[in-house]
Copies of this chain bind each other. A is one copy, B any other.
Amino acid sequence: MENKIAIQGIKGSFHHQVVLEYYKQDLAIDECLSFEDLVGSLLKEKSTQAVMAIENSIAGSIIPNYALIDKYDLQVIGEYHIPIQQNLLALYGQDLEDIREVHSHPMALLQCMDFLQKYPHIKLVEDKDTAETAQRISNQKITGIAAIGSEVAAEMYQLEILAPSIQTIKNNMTRFVILSKQKVEIPQADISKASLKFELDHKRGSLAAILNVMSDCKLNLTKIQSMPIIETPFKYSFFVDVTFEVYKDYEKAKSIIKIMAEKFKILGEYKNNPI
């Protein structure tokens, strides 16, 4: 199969920006309207790999996406970070005063609320997708309505940036994971990060014991997230990301944790690609 990358949203979205920067080439894209569709694209082999937002510095982990990776046994084969810069986009030749409405995804509207509140004459209208709105404004030559989106979207749909970097929190870094259906062979020397999942009884010190093993084996914890397992009260599952310099250290930790924790699962082993 030809290399094709599934993204959430359409071309010009932040997911598309990740494809351009991570793969450094113009690959075929499968535009998916939801994260479920994105997983479906991989499972049905409509695409070879997928890019999925997994956490950001404002909203934290996107837990439903962790659940999707876990449920469908997808492989995390890489990661990429980009700063989310939102801009107010409209047809060329318009001023801010001409804009009566801003259409965008509720999350994008929320991210730009401080800016938007300075313009009470502008009505906020919730929409499905940020890039799709930009595309519609461009295709249908809609005046008086602005979209919120990336520089990539502005360029792609030939819209003017009426106001740059309008998100409230200026430094909103988002982490994306690169996914595949089957395991992709990565040379051991290139593996420096792993995403793990395990379950623990609600016994005092059980998590501390696991973290001690990780620390003894020279693993650095870059992320930890507990999730109550509702069907079995007082049991917890943990999603943990670790980085390491020597693969053998990680291998040793793995073999110990496998014995100490329940339902130990490796979501992926890949190259650490920090911000």
Residues of A within 8 A of B (CB): 36, 57-61, 63-64, 67, 106, 113, 126, 128, 171-173, 202, 204-205, 207-208, 211-212, 214-215, 218-228, 230-231, 233, 238, 274-275
Other-chain residue from B36, B60, B173, B233 in contact with A61 (beta carbon distance below 8 A): B60
Distance A197 CA – B273 CA, assembled complex (angstroms)? 27
User: Which single residue of chain B is at the shortest CB-CB distance from A218?
Assistant: B204
Q: A58-B63, A212-B212 are in contact. Are A207 and B224 (CB under 8 A)?
A: yes
Complexed CA–CA distance, A228 and B224 (Å): 10
Do A275 and B233 have beta carbons less than 8 Å apart? yes
A59–B228 alpha-carbon span in the complex (Å): 11
A173 touching B230, Cβ below 8 Å: yes
Return the chain B residue nearest A172 by Cβ: B230
Task: Tell me how far the C-beta of A58 lies from the nearest C-beta in chain B, rounded to whole angstroms.
Answer: 7
Q: Please name all residues of chain B whose beta carbon is closer than 8 Å to the beta carbon of A57 when the two chains form the complex.
A: 227-228, 230
Identity of the chain B residue whose Cβ is nearest the Cβ of A230 in the assembled complex: B57
Interface contact A204-B208, CB-CB below 8 Å:
no
A220–B202 Cα distance when bound, in Å, is 8
Which residues of B have CB within 8 Å of A221? Answer: 207, 226
Q: Given contacts A58-B67, A224-B224, A224-B238, list 13 more A-B pairs with CB under 8 A.
A: A59-B63, A60-B61, A61-B61, A126-B128, A173-B228, A204-B215, A204-B220, A205-B215, A207-B221, A207-B224, A221-B226, A222-B228, A225-B225
Closest CB in chain B relative to A117 CB, distance in Å: 11
Q: Which 7 A-B pairs have the closest CB atoms?
A: A60-B63, A205-B215, A208-B211, A57-B230, A224-B226, A208-B215, A171-B230
Q: Give, as a whole number of angstroms, the nearest-CB distance from A243 to chain B.
A: 10
A231 to B208, CA, bound (A): 28
Which residue on B lies nearest to A105, using beta carbons? B106
A219 surroundings in chain B (CB, below 8 A): 204
A60-B227 contact given A208-B208, A211-B207, CB 8 Å threshold: yes
* Among candidates B61, B126, B226, residue contacting A223 with C-beta atoms closer than 8 Å: B226
* Residue among A173, A220, A274 having the largest count of chain B Cβ atoms under 10 Å: A220
Chain B residues in 8 Å Cβ range of A275: 230, 233
A36 to B205, CA, bound (A): 37
> Inside 8 A of A223's CB, which chain B residues have their CB?
226, 228
Instruction: Report whether B231 and A171 are in contact in the complex, using a CB–CB cutoff of 8 Å.
Output: yes
Q: Specify which chain B residues have a CB less than 8 angstroms from the CB of A171 in the assembled complex.
A: 230-231
